[in-house]
Structure 1
Amino acid sequence: MWPLSTRAQFALAQSHAMTARATVYSLGYGMLQIPLAGGSVEVDATSKVRRSATLQADPRWWPRSPTDLLSPYGSICQVDYGIVLSGGGTEWVPLIFGYLDETSRTRPITSSGEVEVKVVDAASHVAEDRFDVPAQTIANATAISEIARLVQNTLGPIEVLNLTGSTAVAPVIVTERERWDTMEKLAEFLGAEVFFDPVARLIVRPQPTFDQNPVWTIRTGNGGNLLTVKDKLTREQVYNKVVASGQRTDGVPAVYAVATDTTSPARYGGPFGNKPRFYTSELLTTTAQCQATADSLLARVRGIAAQIEVEVLVNPALDAGDVITVLDPEAGETRHIIDKVTIPLSPDGAQSITTRSDELPAET
C-alpha cells in the first residue's frame, strides 16, 4: 500500500472529492499535463505487466505524427490520483508510470469524442527486449545483481529495491530469448516476486503471505466502505504439503525438502484429507534451497481458500499483494491478499478488488 498521510486516511473515511491527472513526456512536446475525461488503472499480481491504465482524453490530442504527445512510439505517462483534503490541499497518490501502448478513437467523432489511451508499466518494454542470441547468468554474481543487470540493460539506471535481504549467488540459467522470464526465474529462486511499482522502481520482494499485517479494513455498516461482495470457498489451489526437489540428469539422487501444514483447518492428516503438491526445478541445488522454496509455496497454498470479489469506496493507495481485513456481518472477519485492484479515475466510479488466487509455478 502506498503510504498515506493521516489527513488523507481521514478523508477516505469521509465524503470527499477527488481529482486525477496524467503527465505525458513526449519527444515532440516535452512534458505536458493533459486533462482526463475518465478511465481507470488496474493492478494485477497475476500478470507479467502488473500495472496498466486506460485513459480518456480530449480529441484534440489525437496524434498525427510519431512524435506527437499521445503517439505510442516512446511517450511515457505518469497517472496520479488526487485525494482532496478537508481544510484545503490535495494529496497525490501515484498509480502508474509507464509507456503509451495504444491510442484509439472512433470515427466519425461522437458527441463525447474522447481519445482512448492505454498505458502499460515498464515490464512490457523489458519483455519485448528479447535476446538476439542465447545468454547466460554471470558466474558468482548474486541473483539480485543479475536481476538488476537484466533490467538496466534495457531501461538504463533505474532503481532496484531488494526487499528480500538476499545475497544468494544466482544459479546458472541459460536464456534463449526471454529476458523477463529469466528475471522471474531468479526471483522465484529467492522465493520472491519481481514487478514495477507506481513510480517505476523495480521491486524484488518475498511472496505475500497471510502472516503480514493488514493494511486496510473493508466493512459494512455506519461509516463502512463495502458496496457489494461475492464470496467463494474452494479447495482449488489448496494444498497441505509441498515437496520441492532439484533436477539431475547424471544419475545422482536430487536434493529435496518437504513442508507440511500441521495447524490450519486443511492440515495434512486432518478431515480435509492429504493433498501434496510437487515442485521440481534445476535451480534447486541444495537442501536449504529446497526447504526455502517448499516453505514459500506452502505459505501461499495452506488453509481453505476464501476468495472474494468486492466493490468498495475508492482507496487509491491499495496495491496487489496487500493484505486486507473484510468485516461482514454474514461472513464475519476474514483476511485476504489482494490479487487485482482497479482504481477509477472519475468521482462516480467504485473500486473493484479481487482477492488472491495464487498463480503457482507449474507442478512437475
Structure 2
Amino acid sequence: MRPVSERFLDAIRGSHEAVFSATVVAPGQTGVAPTGTDITIADGDVTLDGTAQVRSTLELTTSGTLWPVRATDLLAPYGNEVFVRRGIRYTIGLTEWVSLGYYRIDSTEQDDAPDGPIRVLGQDRMAGIVEGRLTAPRQFAASTTRGALLSALITEIYPWATIEWDSTGVRDAAIGRQILVEEDRYAACAELVKSVGRIWWWDHRGVLVVRTPPLSTEPVWEASHGQLGVLLDLGRRLTRVGAHNGVIASGEGADTAAPARALVVDATRDSPTQWGGRFGKVPRFYSSPFITTDGQAWTAAASLLMAELGLPYSVDFEAVPNPALEPFDTVRLRYRGRSEVHVIDRLTVPLTVEQPISAATREQTTTLLGGA
C-alpha cells in the first residue's frame, strides 16, 4: 500500500472531503510533486492490474477548451504525461495527497466538438518499453550484471529512468550466460525479472521498481459492512479455470551448460489445491535463459506459484475509495459473519466523489511449498 497516515485511513471511514488533481508534465520527472500545468477533472479513473504488461491506465475527462492544435500543446499525444493524485482535505490549507502515478498521453478525444469535454487516455511508462522493440539484436556477455542489463534496455527508451531493486545482491550478480535479445525489449526485461523471483512496475513516483512479491498474510486494510464500514457491494465466484498447483521452471541457453530445473508444488496438507490431492496435478511451465542454476529455478517457480494460489476463490467488491491500495496488497473483507483475507489483483480508483473503488481479488492462503 502506498504510504499514508493513520489519520487518512481513519478519515475514509467517516465523512470526509475528497480532492483530486491532474497536472500535465514534461516527460522524465519523478517524485510526488512534479512541476507542470494543472487541468480540471470532470470525470475519470485510474485502473491498476497486477497481471497486465502495463500495470496502470488512465481515463480522464477535462475541459473542452484544451483541444490541442499544435504538437506542443498540453494534451497533444507526443510525449507529455499526466500526473494524477487523489487526497483528503482535512481543513483549509491541510490536504493529504496520494499519488496515482504518471501517464503518457496516448489519445485525446472530443465527441462534441468544438466545445464539448475532452477525454484523455493514457498508460504508465511501461507502455514505452512494450512499444520500444529493438531495431537490431543485442548481445550481453555472461559477466553482465542483471542490473546493468536491465538498465541498458530501459535507458535506451528513458535515459532519465530511475530503477530500484529490493536486493543489491540480486541486482549485482552476473547473468551467468550469454544472452541474445533479438526484438522484444519488454519480454527480455520481464524474463530477467521473473527468473529471480521478482515483479516489476512503474510506481506512483515514476520509478521502475523490482520487488519480491509480497507474501504477508497481515492485511493492510479492512473493508467491512456495518458501523464505520466501507464495504458497499460484493460478489464472489469459485473456478478452477486458469488455476495451477505446481510450477516447473527451467533454464537452457545456447551454451553447453546443463539445463537448470525445479518443480515447486502446493504441498499444504488439506489445501483444496494440494498437489496430487482431489484437485489433481496441474502444472504451469516456465522457461527462461536467465535461469542458470537449480536454486534460481526454484526461486522463480516458487514466486510464480505464490502469485497464482488462491485463484479458485475470488471476490469482486466495491467500497469507499482508499486510493493508497495497490495490486498485491492484502485486505480483510468482513461481511455477514464472515472474515476473509484476500490479495488484490486489479482495482479501479475513481477521480470523482460519486464512484466507489472497485477491486478483484483472490483469497490469500497460507501455503507450504514443496518439490515433487
Whole-angstrom distance in 2 between the partners of 1:51 and 1:13? 26
Equivalent positions of 1:85-100 (< 5 A) are 85=90, 89-100=94-105
TM-align CA RMSD: 2.5
Q: 2:73 corresponds to which residue?
A: 68
Whole-angstrom distance in 2 between the partners of 1:194 and 1:187? 7
Equivalent positions of 1:175-194 (< 5 A) are 175-194=181-200
Q: 1:12 corresponds to which residue?
A: 12
AA aligned opposite 2:10: F
Q: 1:299 corresponds to which residue?
A: 306
Q: Would you identify which runs of 4 or more consecutive aligned residues in structure 1 move more than 4 Å?
A: 248-253
Does residue 289 of the first structure (1) align with residue 292 of the second (2)?
Answer: no
Q: Give deviations 1:112-144, integer Å, cap 9, x for gaps.
A: x21111121111122222211111234412212
User: SS state of the match for residue 242, structure 1?
Assistant: strand
AA aligned opposite 1:99: R
Provide structure 1 residue ranges, at least 5 long, that are not aligned to the other structure: 358-364
Equivalent positions of 1:34-53 (< 5 A) are 34-53=39-58
Q: Using a 3 Å threshold, how does the CA distance of structure 1 residues 83 and 290 change in structure 2: closer, same or farther?
A: same
Q: 1:362 corresponds to which residue?
A: none
Q: Is the 8 A contact 2:24 2:38 kept in 1?
A: yes
Q: Is the 8 A contact 2:311 2:362 kept in 1?
A: no
Q: Using a 3 Å threshold, how does the CA distance of structure 1 residues 248 and 8 change in structure 2: closer, same or farther?
A: closer
User: SS state of the match for residue 204, structure 2?
Assistant: coil
Q: Is the 8 A contact 1:164 1:192 kept in 2?
A: no
Q: Is the 8 A contact 2:191 2:288 kept in 1?
A: no
Q: Deviation of residue 226 (structure 1)?
A: 0.9
Q: 2:2 corresponds to which residue?
A: 2
Does residue 162 of the first structure (1) align with residue 168 of the second (2)?
Answer: no
Q: Is the 8 A contact 1:138 1:146 kept in 2?
A: no
Q: TM-score, normalised by structure 2?
A: 0.87
Q: 2:334 corresponds to which residue?
A: 327
Q: 2:369 corresponds to which residue?
A: none
Q: 1:198 corresponds to which residue?
A: 204
Question: Equivalent of 1:218, from 199, 203, 223?
Answer: 223
Q: Deviation of residue 26 (structure 1)?
A: 5.2
AA aligned opposite 1:323: T
Question: Equivalent of 1:261, from 236, 241, 266?
Answer: 266
Whole-angstrom distance in 1 between the partners of 2:189 and 2:130? 10
Q: 1:136 corresponds to which residue?
A: 139
Q: 2:106 corresponds to which residue?
A: 101
Q: Using a 3 Å threshold, how does the CA distance of structure 1 residues 224 and 247 change in structure 2: closer, same or farther?
A: same
AA aligned opposite 1:20: F
Q: 2:251 corresponds to which residue?
A: 246
User: SS state of the match for residue 36, structure 1?
Assistant: coil
Q: Is the 8 A contact 1:53 1:96 kept in 2?
A: no
Moved more, 183-192 or 285-294: 285-294
Q: Is the 8 A contact 1:21 1:81 kept in 2?
A: yes
Whole-angstrom distance in 2 between the partners of 1:340 and 1:41? 11
AA aligned opposite 2:125: A
AA aligned opposite 2:15: S
Q: Using a 3 Å threshold, how does the CA distance of structure 1 residues 64 and 278 change in structure 2: closer, same or farther?
A: closer
Whole-angstrom distance in 2 between the partners of 1:354 and 1:45? 11
Q: Is the 8 A contact 1:11 1:86 kept in 2?
A: no
Number of residue pairs matched by the alignment: 352
